[in-house]
Amino acid sequence: MREKDKVTGTPVSRIDGILKVTGKADYSTDHPVKNVAYAVLFKSTVAAGTITNIDTTEAEKSPGVLTVITHKNAPKLNVKGGIRGGAMLQSPAIEFYGQHIGMVVAETFEQARHASHLIKVDYDKAAPKVDFEKLAGEAVPSKDHQDEKRGDTKAALSAADVTVEEVYATPIEHHHPLEPHATIAEWNGDHVTLYNSSQIINGAQNAAAATLGIKPENVRIVSPYIGGGFGSKGGQWANLVLCAVAAKMVNRPVKMALTRQQMVNSVGLRQRNYQKVSLAATKDGKLTALSHEITTHCAIHDEFVEPCGDCSRIMYDTPNSLISYRVVPMNLILPTYTRGPGKSTGSFALESAVDELAYKLKMDPIAFRLKNEPARDPSNGKPWSSRATVQCLNEGAKAFGWEKRKLEPRQNQQGNYLIGYGVACGTYPAHQNKSSAIVKLKREGSDVTAIVELAAADLGTGTYTILAQTAADALDLPMNKITVKLGDSDLPPAAGSVGSVGATSYANVVNDACIKITNDLIARSGKQYFTRPTASQLMISEKVSDYQVRVDSKAPDNADDYSSHSFNANFAEVRVNISTGMVHVSRFLAVTGAGKVLNPKTARSQIIGGNIWGIGMALTEESVVDPRWGNFVTRSLADYHVPSNLDIGTMEVIFIREDDTASNKMGIKGIGEVGIVGVAGAVANAVFNATGKRVRDLPITPDKLL
C-alpha cells in the first residue's frame, strides 16, 4: 500500500462516535437485562474496629426488599483472588471509613436505597490511623520499592555551589470517572455474566472467578464502553463480586451502581505524597546531585505506592542520585493507579525543584534542562529507543513564544492580572504487553469484509478506531469493511488499557494477525507472487469464503536492550487575579514525542485530556480527610472540584514525529499517561513566574496566593 493511501496516521473520526453522540453506546448499567433487582451498598461509619451488631430487621421488612446481605450471611469468598481493597463482607473487622459492610437488594432502586438507610450498626471502635500529617514520621521503607542510590548525594549537596532542598506535597485525589463503578450480574447455572466497566477485561474475569471460587471460563466480562477509568477500573474492586453474590442470593439479575458519594472510599485513590527533592548544581548549571525522597501512606494490610521517583530516575544527567520511598499504613482505602501514576505527582516535585534551581542560577529553565540532558538512561545505562525532550523543549519554546517570558517574576501585569509562563517536562514508560487477536475474513462475491476481535478495552482512548485503521492498512481494505469487537472476555485475551500499553499492544497484535492471515492465504494458494498480494485480493482470487487466524504477540525480544519512554515538554501561561488569587491557565501547550501517532485527532484529544487532568491537579482537585474520624469531607462533585469547562483556556498540542521501531514493530509509544506528566509543574512554575510565590502544596487554590 502506498504511504499516502494509508489511513493510520490520519485524523479519522471515532468509529464508535455515532453511538456515543446518539446515546446508544451501552455502558455497564445500560445493557438491556430483563427482570433485574437493584442492590445498594451500605458502609461503615467508623474507620477502625469491629462490628459488634448489625440490625437489619427494619430494612428487611421495608417494602420491596428481597434480602439484606452482610458478613453474617455472605458466602465465603477468596479474599486473595485478586480483587483490590478488601471490603467483601467476609468479617466484622473494619479497616477504613466507608468500608462496605452490606447491601440491600430490592425490587426497585428507590426501595433498596431507602432500606439501606434503615440498617443499625454497633461498633467496637478502635483509634483510627488517619492523620497523615501526624503519621508521616512513622513511615517505614516500602516493601515494593527499594532505595536506589548512585554515588553520594549528601556529599555532592554539601559541596555544591547552588542547592535546592524543598518538600512538595500533593493531596489525595480521586479518579471520579463520570461513570461510577457499576455492574449488572446475571447467572445462568454456574456461569455468570458481569456487565461492568473494566480497563483490563481478562484481569476482571480472573479476579472475579478466583474470588467467587469458579473457573475463569465461567465468568464473562462484558465491557464494550467504559465511562472513564483513569486507573480506578484497572484493578477491580469489591463491588464487582458483591453484585455477583447478590444476584446469586436472590436468584435473578442484579444491578448495582456505586453512588458518587460511595466512590471516595470504594475504588482506590491517589495517595497524598510528601516529596523532598534535593538538587545540587555547579555555578554554570551542571546538575551534580538529585535526590527524591517520598513519604506516603497505604492501606492497613496492603501496600500500594505510586512511583513518584520515576521521572527523577531518568530525566537528568547526574553522577549522584537517590530515590527512596517511605510508607505508613493508614485506615484509608487502598491507594491505586491514578492517571500518570507517580510520574504526574513526582514530576510536579522534580520540575518545581528544577525551576527553583534554575531561578537561583539565574538561568532560563529550558537552558538548564538542555544542559543536563542525559545521552543514555542514567538509571541503567541503556540507550534510549528514542527521546524527544530536546525537540519538545525547542519546538515548544518557539511555538509558545517563550522568548517573551521574563526571568524575574511579577514582571508582567495586565490590569488586575499577573501573567506568568512556566515550563516542565515529563515522561512515561513505553511497553508492549502480551495480547492475542483473531482476524476473520469473509467474502461474498467480490465483497471482502473483516472482523477484528480481542478482549481489549476502549475507555475513550480511541481503541476501536485505531484498530480499524491498523487493520484497514494491513489488509488493504476500506475502513467500512472492518468491524472491531472489543470489551468481552469471550474474545482472545489482551493486555489492559492501562499504563499506556493499550495502543502499542493492541495495534501490534492486530497488525501481526493481518500479516499472518495474508501469509497464510499466500501459502494456501501455493503460488508465487512478484508483488505481495493483499489479503482481500487473495480471498477473491483463491475464492476463499471464510478464513481466520489467531495470533499471540509480545514485545520484540530485543526491546529490553533499550530504554523506551514517551517524553514531553509542557508550557503554561497563567493569569492570576491580584485581588482574588484565582488562577486561570489561559494557554497551554504540550509537545510530545510518543512514537508513531496512529490517529492525530484522537491522540490530540488524549493529550489534552491528560493536560486537563494536570490542570485539575495543579489548581482545583483535593480530597480532604477529617483527621479525627477518617471520613472524606469532600465526598461529592460539589466538594471535589474536577475542572469545569470555564477552567480551561486555549489548549495546543504538538507531536514530534517519531517511529520508534526499537521499542515495538509498529513504532508506537503510548500517550494516555504522558499527557498529565509535567503539567502541574508547568502550571506551578507559571504561577511563580506570575506572582513570585512558590506554592509547594497542591492544589493552588485562591487562599494560597493572598
Partner 1 sequence: MRPFKYTNANDATSAVNLSAGNANARFLAGGTNLLDLMKEDVERPDELIDITRLPLTQIKPISVGTNQGGLSIGGLGKNTDAANHPLVRQNYPLLTQAILAGASGQIRNMATNGGNLLQRTRCPYFYDVAMPCNKREPVGPSSRNGCGALEGINRMHAIFGWSEKCVAVYPSDMAIALAALDAVVRVSSAGGQERMILFADFHRLPGDTPEKDNNLNHGDLITAIDLPKNNFADHSSYLKVRDRASYAFALLSVAAALELAGNRIVQVRIAMGGVAHKPWRALTAEKMLVGKEATEANFKLAAAAEMAQAKPLEHNKFKVELGNRTMVEALQLALDGNRS
Partner 2 sequence: MNEGNETPQLTEDEKKLFEELMPEDLAEIIDTGVNRRHFLKLMTLLGGGLLAYQSAAAEQVFARSPSVPLVSDAPATLENGVTVSFNVNGASRKLMVDSRMTLLDTLREKLELTGSKKGCDHGQCGACTVIVDGRRVLSCLTLAASCEGRSVKTIEGIAQGNASLHPIQAAFLKHDGFQCGFCTPGQICSAVALLDEAKNGDASYVTKDVRKKSGPVRLSNEEIRERMSGNLCRCGAYPNIVAAIQEVHSGKLVEQTWNLIG
Distance of CA 657 to the CA centre of its chain: 24
* DSSP assignment of 86-132: --SS-SSEE-STT-EEEEEEESSHHHHHHHHTT-EEEEEE------H
Q: Which of 1, 367, 399, 633 binds partner 1 (CB under 8 A)?
A: 633
Other C-beta atoms within 10 Å of 70: how many? 19
Q: Which does 581 bind (CB under 5 to 8 A by kind): partner 1, partner 2, none?
A: partner 1
Nearest to 612 by CA among 272, 230, 225: 230
289 CB-near residues (< 8 Å, 6+ apart): 151, 153, 156, 157, 160, 278, 279, 280, 318, 319, 320, 321
Kindly state the smallest distance separating residue 224's Cβ from partner 2, in Å. 11
Q: With contact defined as beta carbons under 8 Å apart, do 313 and 378 qualify?
A: yes
Nearer to partner 2, 438 or 612 (CB): 612
Nearer to partner 2, 447 or 626 (CB): 447
CB of residue 644 to partner 2, shortest distance in Å: 4
Beta-strand runs (E) in 445-562 = 447-453, 482-485, 546-553
User: If you search the block for the grid coordinates 499577573, which residue do you land on?
Assistant: 418
Question: What is the DSSP-derived secondary structure letter of residue 524?
Answer: H
Q: Which three cell numbers stand for residue 352?
A: 518545581
597's contact among partner 2, partner 1, none, with CB below 5 to 8 A by partner kind, is partner 2
Q: Is 647 in the site for partner 1 (CB under 8 A)?
A: yes
Residue 108 in the binding site for partner 1 (CB under 8 A): no
The DSSP bridge partners found for residue 318 are none
Q: For residues 242 and 69, give the distance between their C-alpha atoms in angstroms, rounded to a whole number.
A: 9
Q: How far is the CB of 667 from partner 2 (least distance, A)?
A: 14
Nearest approach, Cβ of 190 to partner 1 (angstroms)?
37
- Tell me the three cell numbers of residue 539: 480471498
Output the smallest distance, CB 87 to partner 2, in A. 21
Residue (647 or 697) nearer to partner 1, CB: 647
User: Considering the complex, what minimum distance in angstroms separates the CB of residue 258 from partner 1?
Assistant: 14
* Site residues (CB under 8 A) for partner 1, limited to 608-627: 619-620, 624, 626
**How far, in Å, CA of 701 to CA of 624, rounded?**
14
Taking CB under 8 A as the criterion, the residue among 100, 114, 292, 696 binding partner 1 is 114
- Out of partner 1, partner 2, none, what residue 658 binds, judged by CB under 5 to 8 A for its kind, is partner 2
673 is catalytic: yes
3-state secondary structure string, 38-81? Answer: EEEEEECCCCCEEEEEEECHHHHHCCCEEEEEECCCCCCCCCCC
CB 308 to partner 2: min, Å: 22
CB of 516 to partner 1, least distance (A): 51
Q: How far apart are CA 434 and CA 233, in angstroms?
A: 20
The residue (of 377 and 573) whose beta carbon lies closer to partner 1 is 573
27 binding partner (options partner 1, partner 2, none; Cβ < 5 to 8 Å by kind): partner 2
In this structure, what C-alpha cell is assigned to residue 291?
Answer: 535526590
Partner interacting with residue 18 (select from partner 2, partner 1, none; CB below 5-8 Å by kind): partner 2
Instruction: Choose the catalytic residue: 95, 186, 306, 673.
Output: 673
Nearer to partner 1 by C-beta: 127 or 706? Answer: 706
- The number of angstroms, rounded, from the C-alpha of 594 to the middle of its chain's C-alpha atoms is 16
Which residues in 21-50 contact partner 1 (CB under 8 A)? 45
Separation CA 634–CA 636 (nearest Å): 6
Q: Is 362 helix (H, G, I), strand (E, B) or coil?
A: coil
The partner residues of 287 in beta bridges, in order of sequence, read 281
Q: Of 146, 416, 519, 650, which lies in the binding site for partner 1, with binding defined by CB under 8 A?
A: 416
Q: Are β-strands 49-55 and 93-94 bridged in parallel, bridged antiparallel, or unpaired?
A: antiparallel
Instruction: Pick the piece of the chain touching partner 1 (CB under 8 A) from 87-95, 112-120, 193-201, 298-306.
Output: 112-120
Residue 702 site contact among partner 2, partner 1, none (CB < 5 to 8 Å, cut-off depends on kind): partner 1
3 binds partner 1 (CB under 8 A): no
Binding mask 578-597 for partner 1 (x = CB under 8 A): -xxxx-x-------------
Which does residue 650 touch among partner 2, partner 1, none (CB within 5 to 8 A, set by kind)? partner 2
Nearer to partner 2, 177 or 342 (CB): 177
Size of site (CB under 8 A) for partner 1: 37
Residues 252-271 within binding reach of partner 1 (CB under 8 A)? 261
Q: Which residues of 464-499 are buried (b: 16+ CB within 10 A; e: fewer)?
A: bbbbbbbbbbbbbbeeebbbbbbbbbebbbbbbbbb
The single residue among 26, 639, 652, 697 that binds partner 1, judged by CB under 8 A, is 639
688 residue type, one letter: F
Among 643, 670, 672, 678, binds partner 1 (CB under 8 A): 643
Nearer to partner 2, 435 or 461 (CB): 461
User: Is residue 148 classed exposed, middle or buried when 0-12, 13-18 and 19+ CB atoms within 10 A define those classes?
Assistant: middle
Given partner 2, partner 1, none, residue 602, with its beta carbon under 5 to 8 Å by kind, binds: partner 2
Site for partner 1 in 115-134 (CB under 8 A): 117
Q: Is 650 in the site for partner 1 (CB under 8 A)?
A: no
Closest CA relative to residue 184, chosen from 171, 167, 197: 197
Q: Choose the one of partner 1, partner 2, none that binds residue 223, judging by a C-beta under 5 to 8 angstroms depending on kind.
A: none
| Minimum separation from the CB atom of position 47 to partner 2 (A) | 24
Helix (H, G, I), strand (E, B) or coil at 481: helix
- Least Å distance, CB 477 to partner 2, is 9
Measured between alpha carbons, how far is 681 from 346 in angstroms, rounded to an integer? 9
Look up residue 463 and give its amino acid: T
Among the listed residues 636, 650, 657, 692, the single contact to partner 1 using CB under 8 A = 636
Closest contact distance (angstroms) between CB of 627 and partner 1 is: 8
Stretch in the footprint of partner 1 (CB under 8 A) among 274-282, 449-457, 517-525, 698-706: 698-706
Find the binding residues for partner 1 in span 297-356 (CB under 8 A). none
The answer to whether residue 641 forms part of the interface with partner 1 (CB under 8 A) is yes
* Dihedral-angle region of residue 644 (phi above 0 means left; psi in -120 to 50 means alpha; beta otherwise): beta
Task: Let me know: does 504 contact 466? Beta carbons within 8 Å.
Answer: no
Which residues contact partner 1 by CB under 8 A?
45, 63, 110, 113-114, 117, 261, 416, 579-582, 584, 619-620, 624, 626, 628-629, 631, 633-636, 638-639, 641, 643-647, 699, 701-703, 706
| Catalytic center residues | 673
